[in-house]
Structure 1
Amino acid sequence: MKITCQRESLTNAFALAASIAPARSPKEILQNVKVTAAGGKLTLTATDMEVGIRLELEDGVEIEVEGTALLPVQRTMAILRESNDETISMETDDSGIRVRGSRSKYRLPGNDPDEFPAVAGFDENKYHVLPTRLFREMVKRTVFATDPESSRYALGGVLLELEEATVTAVGTDGRRLARMEGVGESVGGHQTTGSTTIVPTRAIQLMERALSDKDETVDVAARSNDLLLRTSRAVIYSRLVEGRYPNWRQVLPQREGAIQLDMTVGPLFAALRQAAIVTDHESRGIDFTFADGTLKLEASTAEIGESQIELPIAYDGESITLTMDHRYLADFCKVLDNETNFIMEIESGSSPALLTTDDGYGYVIMPMARDR
């Protein structure tokens, strides 16, 4: 193999592939990125045996001799990042890999590329086409609510439900639940079945990172044990979390006569941050009291102090006090713009709060027991 590449584009592609390679592994060969030069483009593949990527790079690539090489992640990444050269050349021979800049030369050991595990391509004829913006929002608005450390149920990932024209993503850790719905297109009758299409938290974050602003759509194919995502330049493969997801629809409150309050993210988030100043890791609960046209946020921690913040709201009904973990409400605010309007639905101090936007986002927060 003998190639010359624009350093910046190669660095960006290599960094994405390298993010999947494990930092430590009993299989040392996985700590490499496989580079294949053929057909006028480079194909970079990496895997940790749970997640894999095939990434194509065509712009700024000149191939003199086609071939394949394994590039050690840590050293190659350091070379690419520290170099100031516009172009980098790489050449393999019997002794390894030579990497050259205009004023730099490196020789790296070469392992046998044939020993590197194969990474799945996208050969499906049944899949869903989703707007890239929607997929990004689905990940952003649900992944924070997952629990990668949990051994309970299958909470360590995002559930994807792909039906004919409806796509739904759900994340929960048992104390709060985030759900995002949108519109997609089924190709070849593709749809998921049951509640087992659970994409690991880390894998779906990597998928979101692989999306380019140039891509208007992304293809998603769910299979029995894994999921494939295809963009214009990459295919990412991920095994699914084993197990069945909890029945999340039972968690979403379906109640008549609940109080629905029109609110805006910015003012609520500002009041929440002020009230949370006197909280700590042990005392995370904030009392939200709705009454007399005011939302009163109150927090109290013995060794820190007390806070009381008021926010005008359009509610003059019976007083209701709901205690919530301020971090969970903050997470909701962080994934939305400050100008976003939403509905906060409450019923009593012992019932969950439901927050919804008009673009298909719903978020449930379970109440905490009040200390006072």
Structure 2
Amino acid sequence: MKIICERESLAAAFQLAASVAPARSPKEILQNVKINVSNGQVTMTATDMEVGIRLDLAEGIEIETEGAALLPVARTGAILRESTDEKLTIETDGSGVLISGNRSKFKLPGANPDEFPRVVGFEEESYHSIPTGLFRQMVKRTVFATDAESSRYALGGVLLELEGDSVLAVGTDGRRLARMQGTGTSVGDHKTTGTSTIVPTRAIQLMERAVDEQDEQIQLAARANDLLLRTHRCTIYSRLVEGRYPNWRQVFPQRENASQIDMTVGPLFASLRQAAIVTDRESRGIDFTFADGTLKMEANTTGLGESVVEIPIAYEGESVTLTMDHRFVADFCKVLDAETNFILEIESGKSPALLSTEDGYGYVIMPMARDR
């Protein structure tokens, strides 16, 4: 095998593929990225046996000889990162892999590429086609709310519900819940069943990173035990999280007497950051008091001090004080533009707050017990 590559494009592709490979594994062969050159196509594959990626390289590649090789993740990544050559040549000589440029040459030991596990391609006839922008929003607006450390494994991923033209993603850690809904297209009558299509947090973050500006649509195919994503240049598969997702619809408030307050992300986030200056890991609660056209945020932490920050709001109802973890409110603000308008729905100090936007995003925050 021998190919000549533009270093920058090769490095970007290798970095994406290498992010799947495990840093440690009893199977040392998994700590490689396989590069395969055949039929005029260069493909990188990597897997940790739970998540896998097939990545096609099309730009900045000259093929001289076909074949296959295994590239050790750590050493190859360092070479691509530190090299100053515009182009690099990668070739095999039977005893290892040679990576060379105009001013550098490296020889790395090579394992047998035939022993590398096969990474599946996208051959499904039934799938959902989703606009790229919507898919990225679905991930960014839900994945932060998952709980990868929870003993309840089902919370360590994003639930996908795909049926007809409805596509929906949900993330929760039991204390807050994020839901993003939009419109896609079902091909071949594709749909998910029940609440079992739970994609691990790390895998769906990788999927979001793999999507680029050239992709107008991505395809998702849910199978019994895994999920496949296809873009114009790559396929990613992930095993699904075992278990059943909580009934998230029961968590979403359905209230008749709640107050709905129109707000904007930027002013709320700026004031929240000020109020949170005197909080710490143990004291995360901030009192949000809604009264007389004002939202007052108060924090009080022993040894750190007190804070009181006010912003005007369109609210003239009875005074309501709701204690919330300021990090959860901040997370909502971080995934939206500062000028985004949203509705904050409150009912009482013991009921969850619901934050929602016009484009299908809803976010529930459970109240904290007040310390004072």
SS, match of residue 154 in structure 1: helix
Residue in structure 2 matched with residue 79 of structure 1 by the alignment: 79
For 1:90, the aligned partner's letter is: I
- Structure 2 residue identity aligned to 1:148: A
Query: In structure 2, what is the equivalent of residue 120 of structure 1?
Result: 120
Q: In 1, distance between residues paired with 2:39 and 2:149?
A: 43
Question: What is the rounded CA distance, in whole Å, between the counterparts of 1:169 and 1:11 in structure 2?
Answer: 32
Paired residues, number:
372
Q: Which moved more, 1:231-240 or 1:148-157?
A: 148-157
Take 1:353 and 1:66, find their aligned partners in 2: how far apart are those partners?
A: 59
CA separation in 2, counterparts of 1:230 and 1:250? Answer: 33
Report the equivalent of 1:236: 236
Q: CA deviation at 1:360?
A: 0.1
Equivalent residue, structure 1, for 2:213: 213
Paired residues of 1:215 and 1:232 also in contact (CA < 8 A): yes
- How many Å separate the matches in 1 of 2:337 and 2:345? 20
Partner of 2:138: 138
Give the secondary structure class of the aligned counterpart of 1:53: strand
Displacement of 1:82 in angstroms is 1.0
Please, which moves more after superposition, 92-101 or 222-231?
92-101
Gaps of 5+ in 1: none
* Counterpart mapping for 1:1-372 below 5 A: 1-152=1-152, 154-372=154-372
CA contact (8 A) 1:89 1:101 kept: yes
SS of residue paired to 2:154:
coil
**Contact 2:271–2:311, Cα closer than 8 Å, also in 1:** yes
Q: Deviation string for 1:1-42 (max 9, x for gaps)?
A: 011111111111111000100111100000000000112221
Q: What is the DSSP-based 3-state SS (H/G/I as helix, E as strand, rest coil) of the residue aligned with 2:155?
A: coil
Q: Percent identity?
A: 75
TM-aligned CA deviation for residue 153 of structure 1: 5.3
1:214, distance to aligned residue in structure 2 (A): 1.1
* Deviation for aligned residue 1:152: 1.8
8 Å CA contact 2:153, 2:242 repeated in 1: no
Q: 1:106, 1:309 → 2: CA distance?
A: 59
The CA deviation string for residues 81-122 of structure 1, in whole angstroms up to 9 with x for no partner, is 111111111111221111110121111111001110010100
Question: 4+ runs of 1 displaced by more than 2 Å?
Answer: none
- Taking only aligned residues, the RMSD between alpha carbons, in angstroms, comes to 0.7
- Structure 2 residue identity aligned to 1:315: Y
Find the aligned partners of 1:213 and 1:94 in 2 and give their Cα distance: 39
Cα deviations by residue, 1:300-339 (Å, 9 ceiling, x for unpaired): 0111111111110111111111000000000000000010
Contact 1:153 1:246 in 2 (8 A): no
Equivalent-residue separation in structure 2 for 1:105 and 1:65 (angstroms): 19
TM-score (norm 2): 0.99
Contact 1:40 1:58 in 2 (8 A): no
TM-score after normalising by structure 1: 0.99
The separation in 2 between residues aligned to 1:343 and 1:134, in whole angstroms, is 21
Amino acid at match of 1:164: G
Quick check: 2:153–2:241 contact (8 Å CA) kept in 1?
Answer: no
Q: SS at 1:45's partner residue?
A: strand
Counterpart AA for 1:84: T
Matching residue's letter, 2:299:
A
Q: Distance in 2 between matches of 1:12 and 1:354?
A: 40
Give yes or no for contact 1:153–1:245 (8 Å, CA) kept in 2. no
